[in-house]
Structure 1
Amino acid sequence: MNGRAGRRREPWLGLVGVLIAFGICEVVGRVGLVRRSYLPPASEVIVRAVELAGDRAFLNGVGATLRAWALGLGLAVAIAVPLGLLLGSLPVVDSAVRVIVEFLRPLPSVALIPLVSLLLGTGTETEVALIAYASVWPVLFNTVYGLGETDPLTKDTLRAFGFGRLSVLLRVELPGTAPFIAAGVRISAAVALVLAVATELLSGFGEGLGVFIAQAGLATDGTRDVLAGVVWAGTLGLAVNGVLVWGEHRLFPWTPERQATTGRGVGA
């Protein structure tokens, strides 16, 4: 009973937190603790964010950001999953490339903007490449880790019955690793959205949500538009995460976390 009640309370507690933060920002903006040109009241920012929903040029920019996000994330997954399966299946290959992987992983994607821009230009290709580079690591390492967590007894049983390496991979290892891959994709989706907006923000030209925020920051009294753009970015991130969490729960009901949640509900 407590587990089910706790799950019912979670959305309400989140809403309470949002309302408290909204109230604090509203009061700070109204009473003049901070100049309105620096921090407008939260209500004005929300109204402006709603107004932008009717601005076709703004929505086209949001669409451009989402397209770059989807392409970069898709490219990252297409690279990371096969590579993670290869590294997790063949320890010799993992040992051979581990130093290279650990060297590349800490490099911030934004620091590569000048180099990638020289190689690919300043268009969507650069944005997609940077997004893919930043997003590949969570999926890659989750795939390798998930492969190591698959049941060795099941794999040995299949091998004893004459199944080859590929059959074991497809029948046991890949299904067992899928929840870990999905969790990595969810993490990478947030990273990809951050990189999409940040790359546009730093470039300052073209189209996209980041470009809108950058141009608003240069305008006189553009703080409200900047914060409205930030609200849109946060809302997109929240929506993407919510959809992916929902998908994980529906696709992988056998995972331990999901079973524990279901078990608490049944025992209530």
Structure 2
Amino acid sequence: MYAEERHQAIAELVSTRGRVAVTELATRFQVTTETVRRDLSQLERLQLVRRVHGGAVSLRSVTMLEPRLSDRDQDHTPEKGRIAQAAVALLPQGGGTLLIDAGSTTARLVSLLPTTEQWTVITHSVPIAAIVAPLPHIELHLLPGKVRTATQAAVGHETAQAIGQFRADLAFVGTNAVSVRHGLSTPDSEEAATKRAIVHGGQRVVVLADATKIGQERAVRFASLDEIDVLVTDDSVSPSDVQAFDAAGVDVIRV
């Protein structure tokens, strides 16, 4: 098979499947993994695929629509519960100030904040605010802005500007996708701007993401890996992904 024929076959396979691994392509076309990586680089320059860690995805999958919060909350519930429990161990001793991003996993975290300590919670999430508002051990700061239906969270310039007035001990961040190549990303630009402000507002940044989001990419990047300290994920994440994040300087906690 000529290189041009292989390129066309790879592009068609990625378009059909949505995601293909380098090792699978090397086996299928009987070439080295280095050759496949060069093929993918060329296809990416032609805007036919998007390279990700370990393979390639179709451009359609990179920009696919964001699911609603109510739908996401039903997915991978046990894993999200374990991730939230593990995040509690990262809380500062004696209470403190927390920036909490919107999301189904971060919502589980706030319900686990120890009642023996006093916490200041800063959030743009309406559901999270509803959870913590009645609790006497939590001082709530609800951020302003336009509330998106999909995430039930305030976003936009007003929200990001308000976040910039705070400095938190810990920022807990959710994400639609995280990869070594693209960092943390989300489909919506206003959501990305708000998440970016949350990342910058924490002295320490902890990302909560189940393993289905690892190696994925969305249209708008809001943080690179060198801006986060810890990634808490579930134990179905692949060892190769853990090794790649370790090499990038991110502390990975698997639960």
TM-score after normalising by structure 1: 0.21
Return the structure number with greater strand share: 2
Considering Cα pairs closer than 8 Å and 6+ residues apart, tell me whether 1 or 2 has the greater RCO: 1
- Higher helix proportion: 1
Instruction: Tell me which structure has the larger Cα radius of gyration.
Output: 1
Query: Normalised by the size of structure 2, how large is the TM-score?
Result: 0.22
